[in-house]
Chain A
Amino acid sequence: MQQIISFIIKYKYFILFMLLEIIALNFTVQSHSYHKSKFVNSANLLTGNIYNKIHSFKQYTSLKEHNQQLLEENTRLKNKLSRVSIDDTHNTRSIIDSVKYFQKYSYTFANVINNQYHKKYNYLTINIGSEKGVEPDQGVINSKGIIGITNTTSKNYATVLSILNENSKINVKLLNSMHFGTLIWNSKDYNTLQLIDLPIQANIKEGDTVITGGRSTIFPKGIPVGTIIKFNKENNSYKAIDIKLFNDMSAIGPVYIITNFDRDEIINLEENAH
């Protein structure tokens, strides 16, 4: 017994060091895996408030671009609406059964208060949280394309797993055909992502547009992603298809968070099927 105590006293700093180091490594391993609730995240009260303060200073510098971006989006949506109203002149009336009719997606807006794009595992912090109904695994987009997926939430803040993250895998498809692939990031350039698992039957050329596939419960179909800038064919399969994003990931302001009302139903169904 005495030997154990004297051992502990002799190596007390080493034991303390090892103990804390194991805690730190545990956090690190947690942060590298996708489906783990993370204790260390920037959605808590302290970090969220400080990032919010910084953001309220910084946002003035980019107001002009964000206004322009929102104007462009408004114009596009208004044009879409005015095309719909042509149908009003038809004198047919469709009866919508209010029980069967339901809305599939809803959008909430938020501001990005912290944005990372230079690391291997990048996260964004947004200024709304569980109080406004944000949950983990919701899609985050802006008018130009996809941004990421919500990851951890607190009462007033949430972190978003950026598409610039080694753990990010997003189902996408080509605009002009029904071929699906997966969007990943090789952590090199923050405006270039990679498309993998695209079948060889797909006929692609440089400049083709890539949109979200809608096969997951996170993103609806048809949200813009980017254009193909480079690809090579090897042994009858596509290798390294580079995609240039429509978004500039280093300058992101207002974003939308997508709620899918069918999500629980689809997930339940899929779990029961196995």
Chain B
Amino acid sequence: MNDLIKNSLLFIALLLIQVVVLNNILFFGYINPFLYILFIIVFPLRRDRGLLLVLSFLLGLFIDFFSDSGGINAAASLAIAYIRLPLLKGLLRKSEIDFLVFKVTKLPFSKLINYIVVLTVTHHFILFSLDYFKFSEILTILSRTILTSIFTIILIILSLLLINKSK
């Protein structure tokens, strides 16, 4: 399938899954995972990073429109879209980054986990910091970041397995 169609379908599907299903799942009363950052995780690696920055900003902003949360999702997903390439460069050797054939699912498992964990935790930390916006609530922010990250990471790994199986 064409890259363009595939990614736009993924964009819409993740947006709908997030606002229709996941925002209504409240584990223990208040945890809902943010699967939509999967879009940023699997987006093809390009030398031109502008497109990913704009798309991740828009995806976050759409989520914000649905959840009346201002710009917190947009700010958080934009930030992880920006740090993605430096992070990959830090995790992998130079020879492993081939812009044309690079696939996240082809990464060695331990590196894949590192990559997902760093992006998810960064995203959630920015998200909850902006949501609470008070230094005195740092403990709430940290506990929600950790608890929600666990669920998000599990969901992301399961979805990656599904994507891989279906090929």
Contacts and interface: CB of A to CB of B under 8 A. Distances in A.
The answer to whether A and B belong to the same complex is: yes
Contact of A40 (B30, B32, B65, B79): B65
Most central of A17, A25, A29 by chain B CB within 10 Å: A17
Contact of B69 (A25, A31, A51): A31
Contacts of A17: 53, 78, 82
A16 B50 contact: yes
A42 B65 contact: yes
Task: Please classify how large the interface on chain B is, using the bins under 10, 10 to 19, 20 to 34, 35 or more.
Answer: 20 to 34
Nearest to A122: B68
Majority secondary structure of chain B interface residues (helix, strand, loop or mixed): helix
A9 interface: no
A41 B65 CA distance: 5
Task: Please classify how large the interface on chain A is, using the bins under 10, 10 to 19, 20 to 34, 35 or more.
Answer: 35 or more
A159 interface: yes
B28 to A, nearest CB: 10
B78 A13 contact: no
B82 A26 contact: no
Contact of B71 (A40, A44, A54, A125): A40
Contact of B74 (A14, A27, A42, A54): A27
Contacts of A20: 53-54, 57, 74, 78
Interface in B38-78: 49-50, 53-54, 57, 60-61, 64-72, 74-75, 78
Interface in A16-42: 16-17, 20-21, 23-32, 38, 40-42
A26 B133 CA distance: 13
Contacts of B54: 16, 20
A230 interface: no
A46 B29 CA distance: 28
A28 B49 contact: no
A119 interface: yes
A203 B81 CA distance: 57
Given A27-B70, A42-B65, A13 B53 contact: yes
A118 B30 contact: yes
A113 B55 CA distance: 28
A50 B19 contact: yes
A106 B30 CA distance: 36
Nearest to A43: B68
Interface of B: 16, 19-20, 26, 29-30, 32, 49-50, 53-54, 57, 60-61, 64-72, 74-75, 78-79, 82, 130-133
- Which 3 A-B pairs give the minimum distances between C-beta atoms? A31-B70, A27-B71, A24-B71
6 contacts: A13-B49, A13-B53, A23-B57, A40-B65, A50-B19, A120-B131
Given A116-B68, A118-B32, 8 more contacts: A23-B71, A23-B74, A24-B74, A25-B130, A40-B71, A42-B66, A50-B16, A121-B131
